[in-house]
Structure 1
Amino acid sequence: MSIYNRFVIILISLGLSFSLKAQNTLPEANALLDAEQMQFQSFLNGLNGDTAINLLMDAFVSSTADSLQIAINDDRSIVTEKKLKGITSIRYFLQIIRAGIAQKQFELYDIPDALDKFPKIADALVHGTAFRPFLLGFGARRTQIMADSFRQFPEGKRFQHLADVRRISMNMEMILPMVEARPDFPYIDTVLVYVAERSPMHIVDYITLKNNRITDSIYKLKHPLLEQLITLKGNRNASEIAPLVGEIAAGRLTADSIQNLRSKNVTGYYQLLVNTLQQNRTSIGNGAAAGMQPALRNALYDKAMAFYIKPINELHEKKDDIRFKSIQPLRAIDLYYLVTSGEDELYTSSFLGIYKKLMGQLPAGRSDSLMEWVQYDQFRKFIRISSHYNVLNDFLNNMPEDSRQQLLSRFIGGIDSSPESGIEDAMDVADAFSSLSKDSTYSPLVASLLKENITRCTRDNNRYCVRLYTILQQVFTMASDPASSKDIFSKLGNYELLKMDALRDKQNIINQLVIFYGDDDGKGSFNSFMQIFKDTTAWKVTKSEQWVEISSRQEGQQVKLFANLPLDNDKGLDEQAQLALMTHLKAEKINPGVIIHRGHSYHLPTTLNYLQPSMKLAFLGSCGGFRNILTVAGKSPDAQILATRQIGSKLINDPMIQEMNLHFLESRDINWPQLWTQLGEQFSKTDFTKNLFEEYVPPYRNLSLFVIRLYNIDASSL
């Protein structure tokens, strides 16, 4: 169903007037716009929400819309057909905003920018002038608003293409197939360069496997990156060379020199990636485009994992001189990118060993030198990671006082600069509060910086900014004084308690969905998981071709778990089993209250596709599951989240699942602080399990979750 039709249905369901075709006469179009303005004003009068944004909408409908309507009608240079479309587009815009608010289709803070840009785009379209500058920086949502509003104009279809490609731009697998399916797609050249800069091997693989109009465009487009990628077709070393084709195109490297370095000196190759990334940052600072920067970051992650992080993790029982031998030739800047690239995969002891080596290479008392060397690249990420591993205070204490203040000021300030990333940056800042709030030196400084930013935002009348920093101030207060958590819990619900009533379905059953994958790790996890339910007096296991159903036998609270079998991952059979299980649950009207992910971090996006609003507990038992909070909060708004910051392990996951199911069977609400104390004692028997458990985050300590939940409460008030 098209976006247009979806909005028609929404508007009809809300009883909103909406003409399904353009008006035949200009007076008719003006009359319908006047009527819509009255309806919009009435809608605003009954709306509870952010006062400042309500005032902006009121000003738009009562003043801006009138001014634009008059300007279009009175301008003799505009032909009647364009006047008709222009007037109708204003009405469509108001109706789309109204329906979007009613159905919670928009991010709250998309609205002010849309109100600001709409008149400028409308003016450009009716006069035939450039409109693209007004769409720059628009995310998919705001672009979609404009596509729907201006659909009568020929440019409306271009807007829709742009909205679609922006919507899927984070998924490289989908972009070229989407363009392939649309013969009239107008931005092929732009998309090809976009993919080349972010995932160059997609271009190489595409021209290797395909022969169609898209490959024709790749060959015909005289772009230096694409020209170099074409030469890699059939090259078995293409994946090593592709991230550096920007350097080849500039004449600074050759494919042979890159491959020669990679085959003889993995450290030299890794350092080449680091050096190129940093050189590009310098160029970007001087006004150059980002170019191959995304591809370089992806390559850095791949090589950090393959060359260093996985081997160091695997040697966790060896002495440090053996375990960390591979990083001895690395510079401080190289070690920095190991940490920021591999945050989800590093064992605690692996991180601490790398951090020790890193600090040993910095000038005494000048750890701030590191930030200068890396040009503050991903510095928020580094600070957050340092906080997770309880070394942030050590890092800050090893620099001059004025440098500490400047770094923290930079860390906390400016998160409002991009509506597309502001909430995620705020979550990064909140993650560091657990360390900063407990230090008598840094706690007052952070409190002061938050207050300063709220003052700045208020002075600039930036409501989005005020909201972000007000939320951070509330969360910081909670981190500083746990007793104040009741203030946040009064808005969000008590995250120290998971009530059984929330998990039960209409039949009074607690249903759980457990997702496994068919690689070696997944098969081992599944076998370990099934051992929890080997007591046949307590559990009944029913196995089908693609999943198992585990049911409690005892009287009292009925508990069921549905887990797909870890069938062959290489053939995609595990995902087929998951989809078959989801179809079965839907057919039987079974709504799981709990979802459990068991598998590597790269499988997690697939599991997150199965999230449902009915789910009240999400257990992300994979490496770095903590980083997916934003997705869970969007798809399962009421779910408490139990996740790990770093390494997920069946040594922790299975005892947790067993303990949770004991609570379920006994119909006991889960008191997370009590359970965490109990599990902490259980896992403290060995240093290895103790360190693994310390990386798990219970719902009541999930500061970044509170940021997004408070933010969404504000948005949902519209």
Structure 2
Amino acid sequence: YPRIFQKMLEPNADTLLSMVNNDFFKKFIRVSAAYNTLDDFLRRMDSASAKKRMESFVDGLELSASLEDAVDVADSYSSIYQPQLRQLILDRVQMNRLKNWNAQNKKGVRIYKMLDLLFQSLDSSCQVDLSKELGIDPVYEMANRLLQDSAGRIVIQQFFYGDKDGMNVFLAFLAGFNNGKWWVIQKPEWVEIVAKTGVPITIYANKPLNEQLDLDAKAQASLSNYLADKGLEPSIVIHRGHSYHLRSTIEQLAPSAKLVILGGCGGYQNLNDVLQICPTAQIISTKQVGTGVINKGLINEISETLRAGQNLNWPSLWNNMAKQLGPKYKETFDDYVPPHKNLGAIFITAFNHPEKVSK
């Protein structure tokens, strides 16, 4: 993204779009939002042009045969930090909601009503309860009991890959549980990390064996087969590889997962793929670079919270993580998206949930 403007004589977003005759400008907005650069992109054009383009981006969502455009709008909103532009988009959504109501377009009313509620939910002063309004599971927390199986156990599966980075991350992962609160049980192809006290939690993680010999893939398959044979259904699945490994993790994703953590770079771009397998899952992902320090911190915080029998309260957990990481990792952590701010995923989940159409 930075290279685009570095190579332009006039680093202006309007000029860039004019150079390509405004082709696929909506897609460019979507991609910019997905990588958390939309705010910067809009600042590179005059305010009138930004206003016009975002209005066009928001209008006419009811005319699309799929939900892709509406999901793009939902995703983009959380990447805009300019208050005036946010208000413009919210006003435009509400205008379209009323327009579709007057036209008796049920699909349009539903799309814009959901967007209206989602956008207002980011403003704490509006006190919007998305679970109540949209008829979906709570998005601000994950209940401990919902992650437990019929025997009261929480099963977590982690996917590691056998490149150099994967091996280093795996060692750091193991070190994080060397605190006297967990047993670490070594198996030939995976490890089992078992809580000594509290809620019975077991983390199953394949070893990052040599990827050039496909030994990491073999270890993943062996572990998945073992879990299936033992009737163990992961309620949390964690991806710990690079972005190019993510497809493999998703292909092996357990449908039982209620929380999916995409620790690799750009995991945010794969939300829909995850939701097709786990329609009601909460998802943690990053729009840019995934880092071992942040992923390790999140996993440890989540594991200890669950072991203590507590629910995962996302706003509280996110605030705690920000304090722990400090200013050094602030910019990188800002690119991580918690479940309650994953507007695109919430929109898909809500739209697939039966609901009465109301103004």
Residue 479 (str. 1) matches residue 122 (str. 2): yes
Q: 2:338 aligns with which of 698, 707, 710?
A: 698
Q: How does 1:278-357 map to 2 (within 5 A)?
A: 339=1, 351=2, 354=3, 357=6
Whole-angstrom distance in 1 between the partners of 2:39 and 2:184: 50
Partner of 1:362: 10
Residue 512 (str. 1) matches residue 173 (str. 2): no
Q: Which has the larger radius of gyration?
A: 1
Cα displacement string for residues 189-231 of structure 1 (whole angstroms, at most 9, x for unaligned residues): xxxxxxxxxxxxxxxxxxxxxxxxxxxxxxxxxxxxxxxxxxx
Q: 1:531 aligns with which of 140, 157, 175?
A: 175
Contact 2:96/2:112 (<8 A) preserved? yes
- Sort the Cα spacing of 1:617 and 1:439 in 2 relative to 1 into closer, same or farther, 3 A: same
Residue 558 (str. 1) matches residue 206 (str. 2): no
Amino acid at match of 1:606: S
Q: How does 1:39-438 map to 2 (within 5 A)?
A: 339=1, 351=2, 354=3, 357=6, 361-362=9-10, 367-384=13-30, 386-387=32-33, 392-393=38-39, 395-419=41-65, 422-436=66-80
Amino acid at match of 1:497: E
Whole-angstrom distance in 2 between the partners of 1:429 and 1:562: 37
Contact 2:264/2:290 (<8 A) preserved? yes
Whole-angstrom distance in 2 between the partners of 1:494 and 1:655: 24
Per-residue deviation at 1:584?
A: 0.8
Per-residue deviation at 1:636?
A: 1.6
- Sort the Cα spacing of 1:690 and 1:487 in 2 relative to 1 into closer, same or farther, 3 A: closer
Contact 1:433/1:479 (<8 A) preserved? no
Whole-angstrom distance in 2 between the partners of 1:576 and 1:544: 14
- Sort the Cα spacing of 1:716 and 1:563 in 2 relative to 1 into closer, same or farther, 3 A: farther
- Sort the Cα spacing of 1:489 and 1:676 in 2 relative to 1 into closer, same or farther, 3 A: farther
Residue 467 (str. 1) matches residue 110 (str. 2): yes
SS in 1 for 2:21: coil
Contact 1:409/1:449 (<8 A) preserved? yes
Question: What RMSD in Å do the two structures reach over aligned CA positions?
Answer: 2.8
Whole-angstrom distance in 1 between the partners of 2:183 and 2:90: 54
Cα displacement string for residues 387-428 of structure 1 (whole angstroms, at most 9, x for unaligned residues): 577764554455445423321122112444442xx3232222
Cα displacement string for residues 280-320 of structure 1 (whole angstroms, at most 9, x for unaligned residues): xxxxxxxxxxxxxxxxxxxxxxxxxxxxxxxxxxxxxxxxx
- Sort the Cα spacing of 1:380 and 1:524 in 2 relative to 1 into closer, same or farther, 3 A: farther
Per-residue deviation at 1:464?
A: 3.7
Higher strand share: 2
Higher helix share: 1
Residue 500 (str. 1) matches residue 149 (str. 2): no
SS in 2 for 1:449: helix
Contact 1:565/1:574 (<8 A) preserved? yes
Residue 608 (str. 1) matches residue 250 (str. 2): yes
Percent of residue pairs bearing the same amino acid type: 33
Contact 2:36/2:288 (<8 A) preserved? no
Whole-angstrom distance in 1 between the partners of 2:189 and 2:97: 54
Whole-angstrom distance in 1 between the partners of 2:169 and 2:207: 11
With 403-412 and 454-463 compared, the bigger mean Cα shift is at 454-463
Higher relative contact order at CA 8 Å, sep ≥6: structure 1 or structure 2? 2
Cα displacement string for residues 239-283 of structure 1 (whole angstroms, at most 9, x for unaligned residues): xxxxxxxxxxxxxxxxxxxxxxxxxxxxxxxxxxxxxxxxxxxxx
Per-residue deviation at 1:613?
A: 3.6
Whole-angstrom distance in 2 between the partners of 1:414 and 1:675: 37
Stretches of structure 1 lacking an aligned partner (at least 5 in a row) = 1-338, 340-350
Residue 641 (str. 1) matches residue 283 (str. 2): yes
SS in 2 for 1:473: helix
Contact 1:511/1:559 (<8 A) preserved? yes
Whole-angstrom distance in 2 between the partners of 1:611 and 1:632: 8
Partner of 1:618: 260
Cα displacement string for residues 374-397 of structure 1 (whole angstroms, at most 9, x for unaligned residues): 233443344345557776455445
Per-residue deviation at 1:590?
A: 0.7
SS in 2 for 1:562: strand
Contact 1:489/1:495 (<8 A) preserved? no
